[in-house]
Structure 1
């Protein structure tokens, strides 16, 4: 079942830009908008699967309103969005129970990957900037080898051969959506946001050996 998103930000221009990015996500069915915490909490709770919530808003901020919004839509995942890159902001979001944290300067791919992780029930915090332990979109320098599952290692090995998600799904007997979730989780664990970067990082960590094939 495709997800229903709620974008909460008092800046209409930012909401519009974010909406254009989010609309490209294959697992998103509908997108609603709210310009304040009051508007967000007035939204029908059963219609929300994921909330992208701005931290800095007039009246009640996203941090202060997080618990209120959590009570309103209990089943929804909530990812806080902020223009601040301060490590304290990431820590505060995590400690207050957010499911993830996004910088407003994040690339479109980073935003889509974060949505994939959130919808899969996984945390998405930038730990290299002081986020939640054991969760993140980026890994700090010198971090230990990522804890990938056996299935994720299978996906990574095929990803390193240059195979697209459709072929990986066929080879492993999985759905493309499941492969997409695994790839997003792999990116998060490796601290990368592209296949080429994942390949280089995986090689450096000894997680896979690249294989080259003629295009068919």
Structure 2
């Protein structure tokens, strides 16, 4: 079922720009907006799946808003969005139970990848390098890939290009790129060859030797 996102930011222009990006995510359905935490909580009992929450707002800040938002939307994942990637701010976000931390300077692909991680139940915080890229917190746990991501991964491991994967699965190339980014992030790799090795090692794909890429 497509996810319901809630964007909370006091700057209408930023919300509009963010909305244009997140609506491209294949897993996103409806998008609601609010200018403050109080305004957002008034939308309950809306069944929100993911909240993108500005950390600095007039009145109640994003950090202080985590608790009331948890009460209003108990099953929602909450990712803080900030103009700063200061370690103290990220540390505070983790301590207060945020599910992720996304810099406002992040690229569209990074934002879409962070959404994929959050909707999959994986924490997403910036890595030390490069600053501003969304990535899962390092973990030895088995990656949580959706059924569609497994489909993309299998074709990727067969050496197919994004264009061919899109054709085979009836998806757009942009959607395939989003899935590939999310797959790479969850597997902790940055190339197709290492993704293949990692996927085989985890038993995520089972391909005949003749179909594997070199």
TM-score w.r.t. the length of structure 1 is 0.71
Q: Which residue of 2 aligns with 1:174?
A: none
Where do 1:1-216 residues align within 5 Å? 1-128=1-128, 137=135, 158-159=155-156, 161-164=159-162, 165-166=165-166, 184-190=182-188, 197-199=190-192, 202=194, 207=198, 211=213
Deviation at 1:211, TM superposition (A): 2.7
Question: Which consecutive segments of 4 or more residues in structure 1 shift more than 3 A?
Answer: 143-158, 162-170, 180-183, 205-208
1:56 partner SS: coil
From the superposition, tell whether residues 206 and 15 of structure 1 become closer, same or farther in structure 2 (CA, over 3 Å): same
CA distance in 2 between partners of 1:3 and 1:47 (Å) = 9
Q: CA RMSD in A?
A: 3.7
From the superposition, tell whether residues 162 and 72 of structure 1 become closer, same or farther in structure 2 (CA, over 3 Å): same
Deviation at 1:120, TM superposition (A): 1.4
Runs of 5+ unmatched residues, structure 2: 201-211
1:29 partner SS: strand
Contact 2:117-2:124 within 8 A present in 1 as well: yes
CA distance in 2 between partners of 1:71 and 1:21 (Å) = 27
CA distance in 2 between partners of 1:149 and 1:76 (Å) = 17
Deviation at 1:68, TM superposition (A): 1.0
Runs of 5+ unmatched residues, structure 1: 130-135, 171-176, 192-196
CA distance in 1 between partners of 2:139 and 2:118 (Å) = 23
CA distance in 2 between partners of 1:8 and 1:110 (Å) = 19
Deviation at 1:122, TM superposition (A): 1.4
CA distance in 2 between partners of 1:2 and 1:144 (Å) = 27
Deviations 1:129-175 (A, max 9, x none): 6xxxxxx6068xxx8999658999996575252444457879xxxxx
